[in-house]
Every structure is written in structure tokens, then in C-alpha cells.
Amino acid sequence: MKKVSNGLWGLVLVLLGVALGINALGIADINFFFPGWWTLFIIVPCLIGLIGNDDKGADAIGLVIGVCLLLACQNMISFRMLWKLLPPAILVMIGLSIMFKDLWAGKVKKEMKKLQGKSGEKEYWATFSGQKLNFAGQKFTGCRLEAVFGGIKCDLRDAILEEDVFVKASGIFGGVTIYAPKDVNVQVISTSLFGGVSNEYSDRALDETKKTLYIDTTNIFGGVEIK
């Protein structure tokens, strides 16, 4: 998914460069400052996140807000009507995202609850700082990772997993990067507000013969990356 996001951001920059070149050569006069141009700073990141992120709820809400603001700036709808309709629309979208998330993640949540007690005693924080964790050669039974205005890198590539394990990871105005072992399943559920999860294991089929790394993430203006 990260490759998809990088490719889309690259395409955006290429198109912007081409447009600037066309203006510079006098081939055409592309107006970048049309009414509501600033809404693109909301629409474009949310659209790319909707395609590239596993957790799409916050990106979908942000995209709706951005599009509605653009329509209002273009006088297609009035700002008065926008402020009336936007709050209930956001509530409906949040409700739907919670409902569908609970439907597909029900089994995963049950497994996570079984494992939470085993990982609760190990907590690692990064507040206005950074922290690097390496569990190479160690028996790993799970942990809690909290990044608040900071970053945590947790390397599990050479850790010893004798059973399924649970990790709770939170990025609040910060980020968490988890390097997972190559020979495990990775199952992720997330709750995000203007943040998201990048999971390189999302397209891999589950193998019942392997141990599973369960990751529950909370992202508020931050994110969790699983490599």
C-alpha cells in the first residue's frame, strides 16, 4: 500500500510540474488560484489515503469535507446549507465506518482480547522524542507502543515468537514503525482521526501454520507503519 501511495504522490508532483512548465512556455495559462483552490490541500491527501491506506474512515470523511468546501467556494451550494448538512453527514459516515469495521474485525477483536493480558506489562513511550526497540534473539510476548509528538521504531524481524502475540500501537501527532517477522501472519485493526495505517502485509494470504502478530492501532494526526 505504501508503494501505491508513493506512486500517487509522484503522479501529483509530475502533473504539477507539467502544468507549471506549460505556463512557463506560454503554451497555456493554467490558473492555480481558482475559487476554493486551497481545498485541494484537503482533497488530494485524503483521496490518496483512501486508495493507499488500510483504514479509510478518516480519509473518506476528510474527502467529503474537502469536496463540499470546494462546491461551496464554486457557489454550487451555499455555505449556509453546507454548515447545516456537514455535521449530520459526518456523523452518518462515522457511524457506518464503525458498523462495517465491527463486522469484518469481529473475529480479529476476539483473538486480540485473549492476548491483551499477556502484553499489558510492557509499555514503551516516546513523548517529544524518539525510541528504537530491537527484540533480536529475545522471546517476544507483545507490548504497548505510544508515540505522542514523537516516534517509535520497533524491530521484531529477528524476535522469537512462540505463540500468537498482541501489540497495541498509538500514534498521536507522532508515528510508530513496526518491522514484523517475515514468517508470521499480520492482522490489523485501527481507529483513526486524520491519520492512518500503512501495512505492507495487507495483501498477503493468511497461513494457518504460522504464528500471528495482532496489531491494534489508534491514530490521531499520526500513523502506524508495518513493514
What cell numbers appear for 94 in the block?
A: 462515522
Q: For residue range 57-91, what is the model confidence (pLDDT) as tens digits?
A: 677 778 888 888 999 999 998 988 888 888 888 78
Averaged over 49-64, what is the pLDDT?
72
Of 10-19, 138-147, 175-184, 192-201, minimum mean pLDDT range: 192-201
pLDDT > 90? residue 30:
no
pLDDT at 141: 87
137 or 23, higher pLDDT? 137
- DSSP-based three-state secondary structure for 84: helix
pLDDT at 134: 93
88: exposed, middle or buried (Cβ count in 10 Å: 0-12, 13-18, 19+): exposed
pLDDT at 146: 92
pLDDT band at 217 (very low <50, low <70, confident <90, very high): confident
Half-sphere exposure (Cβ direction) of 49: Cα atoms closer than 13 Å: 23
Q: What percent of the chain has pLDDT over 70?
A: 80
pLDDT at 198: 80
pLDDT > 90? residue 176:
yes
From residue 179, give the alpha-carbon distance in Å to each of 134, 136, 139.
Answer: 10, 11, 15
pLDDT > 80? residue 153:
yes
pLDDT > 80? residue 106:
no
Averaged over 41-65, what is the pLDDT?
76
Q: What mean pLDDT is reported for the chain?
A: 81
pLDDT at 115: 66
pTM of this structure: 0.58
pLDDT at 197: 80
pLDDT at 135: 92
Please choose, from the candidates 166, 191, 155, the residue with its C-alpha nearest in 3D space to the C-alpha of residue 61: 191
